[in-house]
Amino acid sequence: MFGPPGRAYVYLVYGMYHCLNIVTEPDGTPAALLVRAVEPVAGIEEMRRARQSRRPLREPIADARLASGPGLVCDAFSITRADDGTDLLNPASDLRLEEAAEADRSGLSIVTGPRVGISYAPEPWLSIPWRFRLAGNASVSRSAR
C-alpha cells in the first residue's frame, strides 16, 4: 500500500481470502482503493472454473454474482499474494486496468455511501461516503450496515 500509484496491493484477510486494492497515492503514502466487486462481461466460464477450484460452489450462481465481493473478485480472477506489486497500468500485464469504451460508460450512475464492514469504526469514519458503486448494478457487493 506504500508503493507507487497504479500498483496492486494484495493481502490475505482472515487467513483465507485474498483482497485486491489499487494503490492511489504517491510512493510512500499509504492509500488504496479496495476492489469490492467486478461485473463479469467476458471470460465468464473461466471465472466460474476459477471460483469452483478455490471454493466449490454449493449451488449454481448467477453470472453477475461471480465476483460480487472482495474475496470473490480474487477467486474469480485467480488473484493471490503473488500478484502483489503488479503494475496495473502496464498494458502487457495479465492483471491490469483498462478504460471502458465510451459506449460502455454512457448512462452509468455512480452513487456513494458508507463503507461496508466497518461497524466497529467511530464517527465520523463510520458514515463518510467512501464507497462508490454503480446504481442498480447486480454485481455490487452487499449493502452497508
Q: Shortest CA distance to 34 belongs to which of 1, 70, 63?
A: 70
**CATH of segment(s) 1-95:** 3.10.300.10
pTM reported for the whole predicted model: 0.89
pLDDT in tens, 95-111: 999 988 888 888 889 99
Question: Is the separation of the CB atoms in 108 and 134 below 8 Å?
Answer: yes
pLDDT in tens, 7-16: 999 999 999 9
Q: Shortest CA distance to 44 belongs to which of 36, 52, 55?
A: 52
pLDDT at 59: 84
Give the domain ranges of the chain.
1-95, 99-138
Grid coordinates of 31: 492509500
User: Whole-angstrom Cα distance, residue 54 to residue 135?
Assistant: 29
Q: 38: which residues sit within 8 A by CB, 6+ positions away? A: 67, 73, 76, 77, 139
